[in-house]
Amino acid sequence: MSAQKLVLSQRAELVQALSRGGTAEGVDCVLDLLISWGVLLWEDYVCACVANKPLSTRTRDLLDLVYEKGERACELLLCAFCQVLPEAQKTGLEFGKCVSVVKDDREPSTMATETLLCHRPFLVSRLRDHVDGALEHLLGRGCLTSADREEIQLPVYTSSQQARRLLDKVRFRGEDSAMVLLHYLDRTTSPPPPEKENEQPFAGRCWLVYQKKLCSSILAQCYFLSTCGGAGKYSLDDVYTDGLLELSQGCGDTQVSLGLEDVLGQVGTLNEEADTVLVSGQAGSGKSTLLQRLHLLWARREALQDFLLLFPFSCRKLNAEERELSLRDLLFLHCCWPDRDQDKLFAFVLDNPHLVLLTFDGLDEFKQSFSDERRHCCPTQAAPMSTLLFNLLQGSLMKGVRKLVTSRPEAAGPSLRQYLRKEVLLKGFSPGGIDCFVRKHHQDRGVASGVLQALQSNTALLGLCHIPVFCWIVSKCYKELLGCGKGSPQTFTDVYLMVLQHFFRRKSPQQKSLGSSWLLEHFQTIMHLGQLAFEGLDASCYIFSEVDLQNSGVAEEDITIGFLIHSKNFSSTDERHFEFLHITMQCFFAALHIVLSDKTNLNQIRTLFQTQCKSKGCIGFCQPREQSVMTTESSNPQITAKFVSGLLSQHHSDLLQQSCSATMLGKKSKCVVKCVSKGVQRHFKSIPQPVKGEKKSMHAMPSFVWLISCIYEMQDSDVAMNSVARLEVDHLKLTYCNIGPVECTALAYVLQYLRCPVGLQLDYNCVGDVGVEQLLPCLPVCSSLYLRNNNISDEGIRRLIDKGVHCESFKKIALFSNNLTDACTQDFAHLLKTKQIFLSLRLGNNNITSRGAEQLAEGLRCSQSLQYLGLWGNKIGDRGAEALAEALKDNTSLVWLSLVGNGIGNSGAQALAKIIQKSKTLEEMWLSKNCITRVGVEYIVKALEENVTVKSVWLRGNNLSQPEVEEFQRECRLIF
């Protein structure tokens, strides 16, 4: 009998057999088989899966569907039944000859999404015991969202059903997500690969042996935090605190904060073809520590388990490699030597690039700047280190191997950026992170609270602590901090002088406090270390041999003070090597050398302050230098210059004058003031003349912020005042300049002396609440303040408005995309009531609900000046719209109102129509992306009939049919 006939004649029995037991598992398994064999198309499958039909109906529908598809389909259907039904239920049923016909005659697919479909039954059975783990894994890599997870994990689903839903979701997410899942299943559920006969046990075991060796070498290197080299070691586990990680501009939603695993996950991928991920952040923001944490987690198998092998590199160490090496040498000589089977291991790496991760810490420290001029693709051919590194990063060498690079932002220019898969910004600690770090650092709760209190009472220092290296110094020098009373540190230089005192005091514990002449007492040590640091920076050298130390006069007792630590990067050689505790410490010693040495001439200082103008060049004092070890990295000279400014300030003159002549210091100080003022003037001169009718606007460069920071370090109000006295600008734009609380302190310190009010645009930085507080001194000279996307919360707004209501010129504020809630709307209401000159309030894309709108309405009712009100992307709903409308019904100033995307329906529209009806000033009302229907629009149309000022009412994306839209278009002021 034909298969079709068998299906027809056994219809009742087949239905009964599959529905017996009342669970859908049987039908689902048959469906899995049919879709994997291609009998059912996806659309068929979706129809057959409708869950709310009785089981017997689903089975009948399935039989009918397949019957329609003909003889071959029926053969396979019977075959599926035969595979799925337990033996006991097969009795009396006939499956025909089809039992043996199933053989996948399709080409094996190379697409992961196809694989999910073709091997569905097998994958369901493997996945069902690992759904939770797989979900975590996929979530961590940005392949699924938490909403997806909730949907899949609904308790009504059995684990097999969850597995199916998971497969479907992942398949629709595309190829990369499907790959991630397949890898995960391979790793989690597969037995070790079988070894071929007569073959050396390699694939199954050899890389495992090497992996083990790699892990233990990484564990040994990463266990302790690197800056704590000397006494009092902290394990990374004890002190590691999550920093703020965000996608860089262009990589997606920059506001989303990322987790550690997201760094290498799918989220934010800009270029699918590229393999290099960049983590960038300013000095001391924690890039090396983050990498160290990732290495540790990988070695402990707690993260990045998609990668079987991880090769960590330090660019600082690669600098010292003068030989030409092949890729193979690079991997094995610089990371971990395989005790055997090097050839096979290297072959494994080449064959499985997707299972290998290379990390490069501190690209900014690499001697040469990135260039893609010299191609090198052969993994066995030797080449200079720079060629190897740059070709790896570009992907010409070992395409497919994932590379993770850390760097200060300045060193990653456009030529490198074109090869990036994505860029992640490390923005230091959040306020909560500072708290957490200090508590982790001090087991003694009393001390921790003391330190935190000291920070709260000195917001300039609190601002500095957003940069982890400062947080570390402050925690380390807590005794000095708690003992310094009112003179607590304000500037970079103050903090580093504090750390200097800390180490000298530690050296002589019998002395409770250092005398006022401590610098003089330790002058020789400072000068020796200063020379070492200075010459090192000039040559981009951060690791020092004993010969280097001798040449600079650094003696054993200078080493024991603790500023230098053993370099673990060079642990393989017999000779001892050293590096400064942190590179910023090297910059500080270099600055001390510049300031205190009578050999420094003023030209050298001028050169230092011109570093931002050079495309290449480090400090450049010792030029010409033959093998000039230049780098594009200008941030170390800039940090050094900042310290030089601070050390030469009036503030520290008493301390410094003990060890060198006041005349010399005076000359150097004047020279610095001149350099900085000139630098600022150069920026002003670059401002183009405004186009007629437009404001004079200056788009500042990051080096402008650096110059401002140098002025702040000097703590001299006259210098600050003179430097901006001649600035004539209406609008100062500092978007995407990586401005955090520290930079806000400096900006406010200087900009408060501007003669005329400016619009200060700080969009897309990381100002935060602490930064807002730091900006307050310059609020009186701000006519408008733009703070889009800056992590500001209600608390920051409260402080801002407290001050803002007293600032005469302050008239506009834009706060799109921050963390504002209803808790700040009362403050805005107060602002609107109090300041009858306030013009513009933009609060789009925050979390304001109807309650917030009601509170805001209280202020709007009293405002006779507000012209622009923007609330798009909040959740004020009808109630909120009604409250606003009621408050604005007699308003005589509002020109522009945006309530786009606020869940407003017809009653809200009816209320808002009353504003239109009465207003004689309103020109534009934005109501797109709400849920207004025909009824609501009719109110608006009617209101428009009585209004002559309104030019447009935007209604795109509401609940209107096409014919309704066409009908309403007779009112040309409605825009759909």
Tell me the residue nearest to ligand ATP as measured from the CB.
286
User: What residues contact residue 590 under an 8 Å CB cut-off, 6+ apart?
Assistant: 530, 533, 534, 536, 537, 619, 640, 643
Residue 133's nearest CA partner among 65, 196, 184, 201 is 184
Peptide bond into 624 cis (omega under 30): yes
- β 577-580/544-545 pair status: antiparallel
Based on CB atoms, which residue is closest to ligand ATP, 437 or 872?
437
Tokens 């809630």 correspond to 821
Q: What is the largest CA-CA distance in the chain?
A: 113
| Least Å from the CB of residue 733 to ligand ATP | 27
Based on CB atoms, which residue is closest to ligand ATP, 472 or 828?
472
Q: State the helix-helix crossing angle for 342-351 and 206-222, rounded to 10 degrees.
A: 90
d(CA 7, CA 155): 35
| Least Å from the CB of residue 713 to ligand ATP | 18
DSSP structural state of residue 545: E
| Least Å from the CB of residue 464 to ligand ATP | 12
| Least Å from the CB of residue 433 to ligand ATP | 8
Based on CB atoms, which residue is closest to ligand ATP, 472 or 838?
472
| Least Å from the CB of residue 640 to ligand ATP | 12
Based on CB atoms, which residue is closest to ligand ATP, 243 or 338?
243
| Least Å from the CB of residue 405 to ligand ATP | 12
Based on CB atoms, which residue is closest to ligand ATP, 567 or 752?
567
Return the H-helix or E-strand segment holding 406: strand 402-407
Residue 686's nearest CA partner among 696, 674, 694 is 696
Based on CB atoms, which residue is closest to ligand ATP, 408 or 835?
408
Q: What is the token pair recorded at 803?
A: 């001050």
- Burial group, residue 795, by CB count within 10 angstroms (0-12, 13-18, 19+): middle
Query: Which residues on neighbouring strands pair with residue 457, listed in sequence order?
Result: none
d(CA 781, CA 807): 8
Range list of H helices, 85-189: 87-90, 112-118, 120-127, 131-140, 146-152, 159-173, 175-189
Based on CB atoms, which residue is closest to ligand ATP, 436 or 629?
436
Range list of H helices, 69-144: 71-84, 87-90, 112-118, 120-127, 131-140
Based on CB atoms, which residue is closest to ligand ATP, 362 or 646?
362
Return the H-helix or E-strand segment holding 35: helix 25-36
Instruction: Judge contact between 764 and 788, C-beta under 8 A.
Output: yes
Binding site for ligand ATP (CB under 6 A): 225-227, 239-241, 243, 281, 283-289, 362, 408, 437, 468-469, 472, 582-584
Q: What is the amino acid identity at position 240?
A: Y
Query: Which residues on neighbouring strands pair with residue 565, listed in sequence order?
Result: 579
SS3 341: coil
d(CA 597, CA 539): 19
φ and ψ at residue 464, rounded to 5 degrees: -60, -35
φ and ψ at residue 615, rounded to 5 degrees: -80, -30
| Least Å from the CB of residue 263 to ligand ATP | 13
Based on CB atoms, which residue is closest to ligand ATP, 426 or 832?
426
| Least Å from the CB of residue 316 to ligand ATP | 9
| Least Å from the CB of residue 742 to ligand ATP | 14
| Least Å from the CB of residue 582 to ligand ATP | 5
Based on CB atoms, which residue is closest to ligand ATP, 282 or 789?
282
| Least Å from the CB of residue 587 to ligand ATP | 9
d(CA 117, CA 38): 9
Tokens 């191609």 correspond to 375
| Least Å from the CB of residue 234 to ligand ATP | 8
φ and ψ at residue 778, rounded to 5 degrees: -100, 5
Return the H-helix or E-strand segment holding 812: strand 812-814
Based on CB atoms, which residue is closest to ligand ATP, 288 or 458?
288
d(CA 751, CA 612): 21
What's the distance, Cα to Cα, between the start and end of the chain in Å? 63
Range list of H helices, 805-957: 825-834, 850-862, 877-888, 906-918, 934-945
Based on CB atoms, which residue is closest to ligand ATP, 465 or 820?
465
| Least Å from the CB of residue 256 to ligand ATP | 19
| Least Å from the CB of residue 237 to ligand ATP | 11
| Least Å from the CB of residue 284 to ligand ATP | 5
Based on CB atoms, which residue is closest to ligand ATP, 60 or 466?
466
d(CA 870, CA 412): 37
| Least Å from the CB of residue 643 to ligand ATP | 14
Based on CB atoms, which residue is closest to ligand ATP, 226 or 387?
226
DSSP structural state of residue 352: -
| Least Å from the CB of residue 103 to ligand ATP | 56
Based on CB atoms, which residue is closest to ligand ATP, 241 or 394?
241
Based on CB atoms, which residue is closest to ligand ATP, 469 or 841?
469
- How far is the CA of 923 from the CAs of 897, 902, 920, in angstroms? 9, 20, 9
Instruction: Judge contact between 613 and 686, C-beta under 8 A.
Output: no
**HEC readout, 418-467:** CCEEEEEEECCCCHHHHHHHHHHHCCCHHHHHHHHHHHHCCHHHHHHCCC
d(CA 279, CA 299): 20
| Least Å from the CB of residue 315 to ligand ATP | 10
Based on CB atoms, which residue is closest to ligand ATP, 287 or 642?
287
Based on CB atoms, which residue is closest to ligand ATP, 276 or 289?
289
